[in-house]
Structure 1
Amino acid sequence: MSDPLHHVRAGLAKGGQTSSDYDLNPDTVLPAGRRLRPAGVLIPILCEAPNPRVYLTKRSSALRHHPGQIAFPGGKQDAGDPDITAAALREAHEEIGLERDNVDVLGLMPSHETVTGFDVTPVVARIREPFQPRPEIGEVDEVFDVPLDHLLNAARFSIQSRRWRGRARRYYTIPFGPYYIWGATARILRTLADASKGM
């Protein structure tokens, strides 16, 4: 049986360049010596027929960072986390109820800098068995899934703009049904789509 994630694995093996929320805004001047906080997010993929699906969350509107936005499960690396992968897996368990022993880590993507000062490392993983998502109260309003082929199709991405801190800020989007996927989440997905292209 062919591996439904062969293109994703090949894309991860290629490595690639780091990205940031400023990629589409080259005139942005970032402060010298800025310190970024390490964070990890999980890109959890369930390989059920006919098409693998990726789990995403809708963050609570009460959160300080990225309220109400679509995001991967994840968060900052705590002192008790041995590495960034452990941080992503811990957060995924807390936020959506995904057990660590139900996950096979496929690899890490290049890190992504956010406008909120985080250095985010995406951890791509395969979910071994279907599970019942359990949104973390106060952190996650909803857990939903999106077909992987939708997210890896570069033609579905668009670049839009809005005012941020008095200036126009451009960013990637990849909407799915009622969900408006944009910002860091869309940028990370675009990196994965580009790396997996033609695989």
Structure 2
Amino acid sequence: MRCNVAPRSLGYSPYFNLNRPLTRRSLRAIRNVLLSTHHFDENIPIETAQGEAAVLIPLANVMDVPGILLEVRGKTLRSHSGEVSFPGGRVDTNDSSYMDAALRETREELGIGAQNIEILGQVGPPELNLRRNMVVYPFVGFVHAGSPIPDHSTTDDMPLPSCDLDAIRENVSETEVDAVFHLPLSALASPTRLRASLFRGHRPYWAIGVQDLIPNGAPNTEDRSKQNESDDGDDSEIGIGRYGNLEVWGLTGWYLYLLMKRLKLYI
């Protein structure tokens, strides 16, 4: 089954400028939107999942370009190796909340401490992973270059300092992360990057091509792309699209689509 009713991109959002750095004003607007839409109850499990996981959608300015940090999972990992994902993973017994788990995993994978991340809210509802044995809870945050700037009017429209992507790359977990890259917000509205797809075979959304954004090129996807190729949606959980091109799709693509839909970039 093909995607007959594709989502559309407006090419702009009323809450941020696609081509200008995020500011305190834009972060406040994003937080208010997330608070006014969906939030999930951490006490309600989904179906009979055996475990729980949490991910962070990390907004960041890089070289004064607003965007989202994404990672390519390490090639030696047992699941979804070489695929695109947000930082995140299984909730441990020592985690005090799903948000705490998302922050811990971000520190372990990308070396970004919780003190540099400003949580803006949640996007959801949470979804089961492809194997239906894990409930995945998504959070949205902004990665500050230093400690978060106080939220007051004198800094409302000043561009927030950019992260040093090279410095982040020096601190990633070599076993868990093969590459880190920055997906500009403007790319989320670029027709040449968007491919109409179906999440779980029936929910339309955009998959996003990112192959050219990966430093030193994308991992070898030839064998995996043949296995995951599908006309009706996402056979893989996250990462490698049709024809061997690296894409943000599956659960990662779905959460990114939900966020951009909340922020009115997509309709």
Taking the TM superposition and a 5 Å limit, the aligned residue runs for 1:1-199 are 3-6=25-28, 8-16=30-38, 34-47=48-61, 50-110=64-124, 111-116=126-131, 117-129=133-145, 130-131=163-164, 132-133=167-168, 134-151=171-188, 153=189, 157-160=194-197, 172-178=206-212, 179-197=246-264
Provide structure 2 residue ranges, at least 5 long, that are not aligned to the other structure. 1-22, 41-45, 146-162, 213-245
1:27 counterpart residue number: none
Q: Which amino acid aligns with 2:138?
A: P
Displacement, 1:140? 0.8
Q: Is the 8 A contact 1:10 1:196 kept in 2?
A: no
> What are the superposed Cα offsets for residues 133-181 of structure 1, whole Å, 9 maximum, x if unpaired?
1221211101111112333x396542347xxxxx9xx975111243421
Q: Is the 8 A contact 1:102 1:128 kept in 2?
A: yes
Structure 2 Cα separation of the partners of residues 91 and 189 of structure 1: 18
Q: Which amino acid aligns with 2:209?
A: P
Moved over 4 A (4+): none
How many residues align? The count is 181
Aligned residue for 1:190, secondary structure, equals helix
> TM-score, structure 2 length as denominator?
0.59
Displacement, 1:114? 1.4
Larger Rg: 2
Q: Which amino acid aligns with 2:142?
A: R
Q: 1:7 to 1:186 in 2, by over 3 A?
A: farther
Structure 2 Cα separation of the partners of residues 15 and 47 of structure 1: 25
* Residue identity (%): 29
Q: Is the 8 A contact 1:46 1:53 kept in 2?
A: yes
> What are the superposed Cα offsets for residues 43-66 of structure 1, whole Å, 9 maximum, x if unpaired?
111235643121110001222222
Please, what is the CA RMSD of the aligned residues? 3.2
Q: 1:17 to 1:6 in 2, by over 3 A?
A: closer
1:23 counterpart residue number: none
